[in-house]
């Protein structure tokens, strides 16, 4: 079983739509959680951290369920510029390293 | 501006050759990492270093080697023992012990010809 699993998509949505991505992780000892965004042939960039209480940054909302080992990202009012691959990332305290999911592809169309 | 620089952007390797990918950061980060990305797959950890003169193998270290002689530099050598080296290689650095503050370089795309 992969340490971090995501639905690869692609998710094809119209502009203005709301879309949600899910992610599960296998190591219950994982400490910190993130969503990264990666544009085609570019490096990943941190989108937002994920907290148990849930957190929001503009149109983006992230949720963490430690009991179910489940992370989500909700994007409201999708823009064309949101088209990218979204990577679910878990920080492993042992070794101080990040473990990446394979990513979910989002395509927003006009 | 502080950042992390990878070079070259594109690299072509002949069969049997060793090649070295450069990674330099001026962020004063202690930790540095090398990841490999293949199409349709997530990033996989090759090697990482928490401090100068120390490094550990990641999940796919076979066929690769690294050094960490300076805090700013963490070069990766892809040896001839790596049978399928064509991939996108990403270097990252980090400051915090909880995963925050990771910065990635813009990557090196290696192709075997």
The confidence band for A29, taking pLDDT boundaries of 50, 70 and 90, is confident
List the structure tokens of A60: 């983006």
Q: What is the pLDDT of residue A30?
A: 76
Average pLDDT over residues A2-26: 94
What is the three-class DSSP state of A80?
Answer: helix
B40 and A102: CB-CB below 8 Å?
Answer: yes
Q: How far is A88 from chain B (nearest CA, A)?
A: 9
Residue of A nearest to B95 (CA): A96
Average pLDDT over residues B9-34: 93
Q: What is the pLDDT of residue A92?
A: 80
Reply yes or no on whether the pLDDT at A94 is more than 80.
no
Q: How many CB atoms lie within 10 A of CB B8?
A: 12
Mutation test of the interface with chain B: which of A31, A43, A104, choosing the one with the most B Cβ atoms within 10 A? A43
Average pLDDT score, chain B: 91
Q: How far is B64 from chain A (nearest CA, A)?
A: 18
Average pLDDT over residues B39-66: 93
List the structure tokens of A76: 């409201």
H/E element, A96: none
Average pLDDT over residues B96-103: 69
Measured between alpha carbons, how far is B24 from B70 in angstroms, rounded to an integer? 10
Reply yes or no on whether the pLDDT at A28 is more than 90.
no
Percent of chain B, pLDDT > 90? 74
A98: nearest CB among B88, B102, B105? B102
Place of tokens 């805090």: B71
Residue of B nearest to A102 (CA): B42
A87: nearest CB among B33, B42, B50? B42
């Amino acid at each position: 079983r992969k340490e971090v699993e995501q639905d690869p998509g692609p998710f094809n949505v119209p502009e203005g739509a709301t879309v949600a991505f899910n992610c599960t992780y296998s190591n219950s000892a994982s400490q910190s959680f993130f969503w990264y965004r990666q544009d085609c042939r570019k490096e990943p960039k941190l989108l937002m951290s994920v907290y148990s209480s849930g957190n929001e940054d503009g149109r983006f909302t992230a949720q963490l369920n430690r009991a179910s080992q489940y992370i989500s990202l909700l994007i409201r009012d999708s823009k064309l510029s949101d088209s990218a691959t979204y990577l679910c990332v878990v920080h492993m305290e042992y070794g101080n390293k990040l473990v990446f999911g394979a990513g979910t592809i989002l395509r927003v169309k006009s | 501006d502080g950042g992390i620089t990878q070079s070259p952007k594109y690299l072509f390797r002949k069969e049997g050759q060793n090649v070295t990918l450069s990674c330099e950061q001026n962020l004063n980060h202690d930790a540095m990492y090398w990841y490999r990305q293949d199409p349709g797959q997530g990033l996989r950890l090759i090697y990482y270093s928490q401090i100068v003169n120390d490094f550990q193998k990641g999940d796919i270290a076979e066929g690769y080697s690294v050094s960490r002689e300076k805090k700013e530099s963490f070069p990766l050598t892809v040896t001839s023992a790596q049978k399928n080296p064509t991939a996108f290689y990403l270097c990252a650095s980090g400051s915090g012990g909880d995963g925050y503050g990771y910065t990635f370089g813009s990557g090196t795309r290696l192709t075997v010809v």
